[in-house]
A = this chain, B = another copy of it.
Amino acid sequence: MAGDGSDQRALQYEQTLKYGRYSEDFGEYTKEEAARLRESGQRRSVSQTLKPLENNKGRCAKCRFCTVRCLKFLISRVGEDWIFLILLGLLMALVSWVMDFGINSCLHALMWIYNSLDSYVFLQYLAWVIYPVVLICFSAGFVQILAPPAAGSGIPEMKAILRGVVMKEYLSLKTFVAKIIGLTTALGSGMPLGKEGPFVHLGGLCAAVLMRFMSLFGEIYENESRYIEMLAAACAVGVGSCFAAPIGGVLFSIEITSQFFSVRTYWRGIFAATIGAFIFRVLAVWNTDAETITALLRTSFRLDFPFGLQELPAFGALGIACGFGGALFVYLNGVIVRFIKKQKANNGFLMKKHLLYPALVTLLISTLTFPPGFGQFMAGKLNMMETMEALLDNRTWAKHDIAEEFEHMGHSEAWIHPQVNVFVTLGLFTFMKFWMSALATTMPVPYGSFMPVFVIGAGFGRLVGEGMATWFPDGIPTNGTSYPIVPGGYAAVGAAALSGAVSHSVSTAVIVFEMTGQITHILPIILAVILANIVAQSLSPSLYDSLIKIKKLPFLPELGWGHHEKYDIHVEDMMEREVQYIALNCSYRDLHNVLLTGHHNTVALVESAESMILLGSIELAQLQELLSLQLDRPRRLENIRERAVQDKKRLSVVSNDSSENSSHQASQEVSFQISTEDSSLSPTCPVPQKPLKPALKRPSVVERPTSPHDHSGIAFKNLYGTIPDTETLEEPPPNLKSFFGDDVDVEDDMTIREITEWEEKQLDEQVNFNNCKIDPAPFQLVERTSLHKTHTIFSVLGLDHAYVTSIGRLVGVVSVKELHKAIEGSVKVEGAKARPALASFRDKGKSSSKNEATDVHKLRDRLKSMQLPREHTPSE
Pick from B79, B781, B783, B785: contact of A564, CB under 8 Å: B79
Pick from B1, B833, B841: contact of A775, CB under 8 Å: B841
Say how far A3's CB is from chain B's closest CB, in angstroms.
9
Asked whether any CB of chain B lies closer than 8 Å to the CB of A322, the reply is: no
Asked whether any CB of chain B lies closer than 8 Å to the CB of A703, the reply is: no
Asked whether any CB of chain B lies closer than 8 Å to the CB of A876, the reply is: yes
Whether A805 pairs with B777 at a CB distance below 8 angstroms is yes
Pick from B261, B780, B786, B797: contact of A780, CB under 8 Å: B780
CA distance A89 to B693 in the complex (A): 70
CA distance A863 to B610 in the complex (A): 11
Asked whether any CB of chain B lies closer than 8 Å to the CB of A97, the reply is: no
Whether A291 pairs with B584 at a CB distance below 8 angstroms is no
Q: Given contacts A292-B307, A526-B274, are A856 and B774 in contact (CB under 8 A)?
A: yes
Digit string of A241-272 for contact with B (CB within 8 Å is 1, else 0)?
Answer: 00000110000001100111111101110110
Whether B856 pairs with A1 at a CB distance below 8 angstroms is no
Whether A564 pairs with B309 at a CB distance below 8 angstroms is no
Q: What are 21 A-B pairs with beta-carbon distances under 8 A? A: A2-B789, A13-B836, A14-B836, A31-B846, A33-B836, A35-B845, A42-B831, A79-B562, A221-B567, A224-B838, A247-B510, A259-B262, A293-B307, A294-B306, A298-B304, A514-B519, A517-B520, A585-B863, A773-B844, A793-B796, A866-B866
CA distance A42 to B304 in the complex (A): 59
Digit string of A205-224 for contact with B (CB within 8 Å is 1, else 0)?
Answer: 00000000001000111111
Asked whether any CB of chain B lies closer than 8 Å to the CB of A764, the reply is: yes
Say how far A794's CB is from chain B's closest CB, in angstroms.
11
Write out the residue numbers on chain B whose beta carbons fall within 8 Å of the beta carbon of A292.
Answer: 305-309, 478
CA distance A843 to B78 in the complex (A): 29
Whether A863 pairs with B264 at a CB distance below 8 angstroms is no
Looking across the interface, which residue of chain B has its beta carbon closest to that of A516? B519
Asked whether any CB of chain B lies closer than 8 Å to the CB of A818, the reply is: no
CA distance A841 to B45 in the complex (A): 25
CA distance A792 to B481 in the complex (A): 56
Whether B806 pairs with A843 at a CB distance below 8 angstroms is no
A residues 24-45 near B (Cβ < 8 Å) are 30-31, 33-35, 37-38, 40-42, 45
Given contacts A81-B562, A292-B307, 10 further A-B contacts (CB under 8 A): A1-B782, A10-B843, A79-B564, A219-B564, A222-B838, A254-B263, A255-B266, A513-B519, A660-B873, A777-B780
Asked whether any CB of chain B lies closer than 8 Å to the CB of A527, the reply is: yes
Write out the residue numbers on chain B whose beta carbons fall within 8 Å of the beta carbon of A81.
Answer: 561-562, 564
Whether B871 pairs with A765 at a CB distance below 8 angstroms is yes
Write out the residue numbers on chain B whose beta carbons fall within 8 Å of the beta carbon of A871.
Answer: 764-766
Asked whether any CB of chain B lies closer than 8 Å to the CB of A76, the reply is: yes
Write out the residue numbers on chain B whose beta carbons fall within 8 Å of the beta carbon of A82.
Answer: 561-562
Query: How many chain-A residues does the 8 Å CB contact rule pick out?
Result: 171
Write out the residue numbers on chain B whose beta carbons fall within 8 Å of the beta carbon of A711.
Answer: none
Q: Given contacts A259-B263, A277-B523, A478-B292, are A658 and B247 in contact (CB under 8 A)?
A: no
Pick from B34, B478, B838: contact of A10, CB under 8 Å: B838
Write out the residue numbers on chain B whose beta carbons fall within 8 Å of the beta carbon of A262.
Answer: 259-260, 792, 795
Whether B844 pairs with A10 at a CB distance below 8 angstroms is no
Asked whether any CB of chain B lies closer than 8 Å to the CB of A9, the reply is: yes
Whether B836 pairs with A613 at a CB distance below 8 angstroms is no
Looking across the interface, which residue of chain B has its beta carbon closest to that of A255? B263
Write out the residue numbers on chain B whose beta carbons fall within 8 Å of the beta carbon of A261.
Answer: 260-261, 263
Pick from B6, B559, B616, B806: contact of A838, CB under 8 Å: B6
Digit string of A61-84 for contact with B (CB within 8 Å is 1, else 0)?
Answer: 000000000000000101111100
Whether B856 pairs with A10 at a CB distance below 8 angstroms is no
Write out the residue numbers on chain B whose beta carbons fall within 8 Å of the beta carbon of A357.
Answer: none
Pick from B254, B614, B856: contact of A584, CB under 8 Å: B856
Write out the residue numbers on chain B whose beta carbons fall within 8 Å of the beta carbon of A844.
Answer: 773
A residues 631-683 near B (Cβ < 8 Å) are 657-658, 660-661
Q: Given contacts A261-B263, A863-B584, are A805 and B782 in contact (CB under 8 A)?
A: no
Say how far A870's CB is from chain B's closest CB, in angstroms.
6
Pick from B220, B267, B285, B857: contact of A309, CB under 8 Å: B285
Looking across the interface, which residue of chain B has its beta carbon closest to that of A479? B291
Asked whether any CB of chain B lies closer than 8 Å to the CB of A47, the reply is: no
Whether A807 pairs with B774 at a CB distance below 8 angstroms is yes
Asked whether any CB of chain B lies closer than 8 Å to the CB of A859, the reply is: yes
Whether A264 pairs with B838 at a CB distance below 8 angstroms is no
A residues 547-569 near B (Cβ < 8 Å) are 558-559, 561-564, 567
Looking across the interface, which residue of chain B has its beta carbon closest to that of A33? B836
Output the residue of A514, A564, A870 with the most chain B CB within 10 A. Answer: A564
Whether B859 pairs with A615 at a CB distance below 8 angstroms is yes
Say how far A311's CB is from chain B's closest CB, in angstroms.
9
Write out the residue numbers on chain B whose beta carbons fall within 8 Å of the beta carbon of A478.
Answer: 291-292
Say how far A49's CB is from chain B's closest CB, in angstroms.
12
Whether A849 pairs with B31 at a CB distance below 8 angstroms is yes
Asked whether any CB of chain B lies closer than 8 Å to the CB of A839, the reply is: yes
Whether A220 pairs with B837 at a CB distance below 8 angstroms is yes
CA distance A1 to B807 in the complex (A): 13
